[in-house]
Structure 1
C-alpha cells in the first residue's frame, strides 16, 4: 500500500497550479464585480497573466466561470458523499445533511455565486445548466439514492424517493436561502436557529415516511 505521506507530498503540475491560481483570482473578481463587469483582460491583469493564457486554459469567460462553479460543487459533493457513508440512523444522516446544506447555502460567497448565476442565465443558459447539474441536481440524486436504500432496509417508507428528496431539500433550504438572497444585510442564522430548523424538518420528514407497524 502506498504511503499516504508520499501521496500528500506529490507536487501539483505547474500548469495545473497556475490554472487554479487564475481561477481563484477570477472567482474573487466575479464575486466583487459581477460576471458582466469582469473581463478576461482585468482577470489576466490581476492574475499577472496574459489574456492569451486565460483563453488557452479556459476557452472563454463562460468556461472560466463554469470551472469555478464545478470546483465549488465538487467540494460540496465530496463532503455530501462522506456524510451518507457515515454510520448512524436515517435521522442522524438527514440532520447532518440539513445542517451542512444550510451552513453552505448561507455562506456569503455561495449566495453571491447564486445571484450571478440567476442574473446571467437568461443571457448564458449554459451557466445555469452547469450550476444546476453540478450542484442541486447532484444533491437531489444522492439523497434519492440514500432514501431508496433506507427504504429497502425497512428503516423508512418512501414510495417515491425522488419526490421525498425534493420535499426534504425544499423544507431545509427554502426559507433561509431566500432571506440570504433578498436581505443580504440581515445577520446569518445562528447555530441555534439552524439546529431548531433542521430538527423540525427532520422530525416532520421522519413522521411522514415512518414505517407503519403491522
Structure 2
C-alpha cells in the first residue's frame, strides 16, 4: 500500500535519532505481533532493532511504554494522508470513491493491519489505550468524513440529518463483512478489481440513501 511505502521512505530520510526510534517501534511491533506482549523482553526488542537496551529505556522507559508508542504509531499509519486535498467543488461521488478506496485498501492491507487483533486484545486490558487508538485512527477518519458530509449538506448536495450516522453508514456499506473475513481467512487478499467493486457499490448505495445527485 502506498501509505506504508511512503512511511518507509520517509523513515529512511529521518535524522539518526528519529530513525532509531522508528526502528525500535518497527521491531517491537513485529515481536509483539508474533509472540504477544507478555512474552517479549526489552532485550529482544533491542536486538531486533540493532540498539542497546539502555537506548530503549532512555527513549521509552518500560516495555508497556514501548507498546503504547507502537499502538500510537499503528493509529497514525492507519490514517496517514487521509483525507488529503479535497476539491470543495467536486461532486460527492468522485470524492467519496477516492476516500473509500483508501479506507478499504488500508483495511485489506495485511502489513498495516495485521497486528490489529493483538492490539485490540491489549486494549481490553487497558481501556485507555483502546480509546486513544480509536480517537487517532477510526475516530479521526469518521470525523473527517463527517466534516465532508456536512460541507455537502451545506452546499445542498446531500440530505443528511445526522452526519455521524451517515459517516458510519458509508463505512459499513463499503467494508461489508471484510473485517471479519480478514480475521477468519488469513490468506484472503483483495484484488484492485474487488476493492473497486466494494467501494463503488457502497458509495452508490450511500448516495441513493442520502439523496445526492450523481456527477
TM-score bracket relative to the smaller structure: 0.7 to 0.9
> What residue is the counterpart of 2:118 in the other structure?
116
Shift of 1:140: 0.5
Shift of 1:34: 2.8
- Partners of 1:83 and 1:201 in 2: how far apart? 22
Name the stretch that deviates more: 152-161 or 74-83.
74-83
Name the stretch that deviates more: 20-29 or 59-68.
59-68
The answer to whether the Cα contact below 8 Å between 1:158 and 1:209 also exists between their aligned partners in 2 is yes
> What residue is the counterpart of 2:204 in the other structure?
203
Q: Does 1:140 align with 2:142?
A: yes
Residue-by-residue CA offset, 1:32-55 (whole Å, 9 max, x unaligned): 323232222210122232333212
- Partners of 2:139 and 2:115 in 1: how far apart? 16
The answer to whether the Cα contact below 8 Å between 1:62 and 1:127 also exists between their aligned partners in 2 is no
**Which TM-score applies when normalising by structure 2?**
0.83
> What residue is the counterpart of 2:151 in the other structure?
149
The answer to whether the Cα contact below 8 Å between 1:66 and 1:130 also exists between their aligned partners in 2 is no
Residue-by-residue CA offset, 1:147-181 (whole Å, 9 max, x unaligned): 00111011111111111011111222241111001
- Partners of 1:125 and 1:39 in 2: how far apart? 23
Shift of 1:70: 2.5
Shift of 1:23: 1.4
**Which TM-score applies when normalising by structure 1?**
0.83
Moved over 6 A (4+): none
- Partners of 2:36 and 2:189 in 1: how far apart? 22
Match of residue 23, structure 1, among 16, 25, 42: 25
- Partners of 1:119 and 1:74 in 2: how far apart? 19
> What residue is the counterpart of 1:177 in the other structure?
179
User: What residue ranges of structure 2 are gaps of 5+ in the alignment?
Assistant: 1-9
Which structure's CA Rg is the greater one?
1
- Partners of 2:55 and 2:205 in 1: how far apart? 52
CA RMSD of aligned residues (A): 2.3
- Partners of 2:134 and 2:79 in 1: how far apart? 13
> What residue is the counterpart of 2:57 in the other structure?
55
Structure 1 segment 155-194 matched on structure 2, within 5 A: 155-185=157-187, 187-194=188-195
Match of residue 132, structure 2, among 124, 130, 133: 130
Shift of 1:78: 3.7
> What residue is the counterpart of 1:80 in the other structure?
82
User: What residue ranges of structure 1 are gaps of 5+ in the alignment?
Assistant: 1-7
